[in-house]
Structure 1
Amino acid sequence: MIVHKRKFYSSRIYSNKRVGPHNLDVISVLVGGLLGYCYGEKRNNSTRFVIHASSTNVEYIYSLHKLLYKNGYCSAKKPGMRKEIGKNNKVYFSIKFRTFSFTSLNFLHDIFYNESKEKIISFEIHKLLNRQAFAIWFVAHGGISGSGLMLSTGSFAYKDVVTLQRAIHQNFKILPTIQRHKQAHVLYFKKEDKEDVFNIIKDFLVDSMLYKFK
């Protein structure tokens, strides 16, 4: 496959001039992020993406920032830690950065959001869920659970979780089960699937994320 690259290093370029074509790595990162800790902001007929995660994922966020900057999708400024106040006044630290805005990436916002700006899953997700996107998603919301692996889908409705389950089965020949967990639904991979999941995503993991399989 020939992957074309287009660079947009200056924030002064108008969003409607950032027309692509887009690097497959970048699309995969954004798709995986939207399944996890990334969200899209559509305004003035253009879309930017916000990648926001806890400090436990800092090394991975830095690697994503490096990839997006290298391809011209965000500024060179390295994102820093910020103090957050969470539920029950719990203090934690997070890291966040934004991409530039693109009219040519509106299609991703339209795939992942309905008219009420709620996150949804399109039936076309299987066309976008490749190994890299799966890895980004797993780093955000996956990990060991009992003898298997659990992948959180808490922000999505049950019908969307079913769509994700089918996409994983179609693309990777693994069929996770849907289970109820803390008032939400999760995807659970049984013990015998752990090695297969790891082999699918290992090429896109940084060392600090390997604990998710131990």
Structure 2
Amino acid sequence: MLYIIPTPIGNREDLTFRSLRILNEVDIILVENYKFSKKLLNFYNIKTSIQTYACYNEHYIIPHILKIIKKGKKLALITNAGTPSISDPGFLLIQYCIKHSINIECLPGATAFVPALVMSGIPINEFTFIGFLSKKKIKRIKKLKHLLQDNRTIVMYESPHRLLNTLNDIQNIFGSEKYVVLCKEISKIFQKTLRGTINNLILQLKNKKILGEYVLIIHGNTIHSK
């Protein structure tokens, strides 16, 4: 059995009671980063054995994990924050478990883009989630031009050091009056939401030190009611 366990994206109190119980009951917890996850597990006094499962080692560690599970062991997978497999390791392991008829259960829990969408005030009956844009400008521009044809609300993640470049690219393709929402550090101490035209947000941010992780939401191709 493999459990997919969402972990807090900021406030440690966001871990569910059920997640706590399963993390205590499983035989091994697979973690994206040993030191980072150890702090969270120590906070909750969870003594379960842990092993690293990350992007750099997943291809060669998966056969070992499958052998452990087939021996009757129960494992849980967590990442540094949020739900595994959403812009985090997990997808490949889940694929292999399905292929080998291993039971999988994903618990509901923290995912940064969901509260950001709800707080945005933008229509979210239909939306497109793209995770992180490519670091390469040509690929990023190509993706944004493709998204320009999408009528749905668009949601993505962005790191602080690339945020202004991404906003400028969006402005060049979608226009300076495009309505966007930025949600910073969801559920953390410095959580903040900025709303306005793309031009307005660039002016607010361009002379400031940009810190934290961001969820960026672009209004779909419908008229925004101000």
Q: TM-score, normalised by structure 2?
A: 0.28
Higher helix share: 1
Larger Rg: 2
Q: TM-score, normalised by structure 1?
A: 0.29
